[in-house]
Amino acid sequence: MLKVHFVANTRAGRVVWLLEELGLEYEVNNIPFTKEGLKSPEHRARHALGRVPVLEDGEVSIFESGAIIEYIIERHKNGGLKPPPDDANFPYYLQWYHYCEGMVMPPMNQIVVQTLLLPPDRRDEVVLAQAKTLLTKTLMPVNENLKDKEYLIGNFSAADLMLGHACFMANRLGCVNGEMKNIIQYVERISNRPAFQKAISLGV
C-alpha cells in the first residue's frame, strides 16, 4: 500500500489530494511539525533534510511533491490526469505544472519563513512585504489564464494539483486580491472537490 509521510499545511497535502482523486488506497504517517518529528533519525533516513512529503511504494521511497505526483499518475493511473504529448494542451500543462514551484512557491516560502518559522525578533517586515507583493504579481498570469476556464488547461489535471494547491494557500495568506476574480472562483471550485476536502480534513 502507498504510504505518505505527512505534515499538515505543507505540500504533502497535494499528494493526499491526488490519492483521493484517484481513489487509491493509502496510509498516512502524520509527523508532528517539530524538530523532534522532522529531524529524527528515522525520518532523515527517508529525507536527508527532514522534510515532507515522502512517498513509500513497496521498495520505492521518493520525495518532492511534483515528482511524487508524476510517479503516482504514471505508475498507478497509466498517465491519467495529464494530456498526451501530442495534445494541443500538453505544452501548457507542463508550463503551469512547473510554474508553481518555479514562480509561485519561492515568495510563498519566504512569507512562511517570516511569519511562522523565524522567532519574532528575527522577522523582517520589509522582506515580508516584498514577498507578499511578489507572490501577488506571480498570480496575475494565472488569473489571466483562467479567464473562461474552469481549470488551468480546461479540464482538471495534475497541473491543478500543483498550482491549484498553491493558489489555495496564497488565498489563505491574503495574497489573492479582489481583482483576481478568476482565481477566487478557481479556488472555490477546488475547495468544493470532495477529494480536496478530504485533504483539508488532514490539513493541506
Q: Please report, as a single letter, which amino acid is at residue 103.
A: M
The radius of gyration of the chain from alpha carbons, rounded to an integer in Å, stands at 17
**What confidence tens digit (pLDDT) does each residue in 96-105 have?**
999 999 999 9
**What confidence tens digit (pLDDT) does each residue in 104-131 have?**
999 999 999 999 899 999 999 999 999 9
pLDDT at 81: 95
Q: What is the mean pLDDT of residues 14-32?
A: 96
pLDDT at 203: 83
- Domains in the chain, CATH or no CATH each: 2-81 (3.40.30.10), 90-193 (1.20.1050.10)
pLDDT at 186: 98
Q: Which residue has the cell 536527508?
A: 48
Residues 6+ apart with CB under 8 A from 112: none
**What confidence tens digit (pLDDT) does each residue in 125-176 have?**
999 999 999 999 999 999 999 999 999 999 999 999 999 999 999 999 999 9
Q: Are 37 and 43 in contact (CB under 8 A)?
A: yes
pLDDT at 80: 85
Q: How many angstroms separate the CA atoms of 140 and 27, rounded?
A: 36
Distances (CA, A) of 80 to 21, 67, 75, 77, 164: 11, 15, 10, 5, 17
Model confidence at 79, pLDDT cuts 50, 70, 90, reads confident
Q: Are 93 and 40 in contact (CB under 8 A)?
A: no
pLDDT at 107: 98
Q: What is the mean pLDDT of residues 7-31?
A: 96
Q: What is the 3-state secondary structure of 61-97?
A: EEECHHHHHHHHHHHCCCCCCCCCCCCCCHHHHHHHH
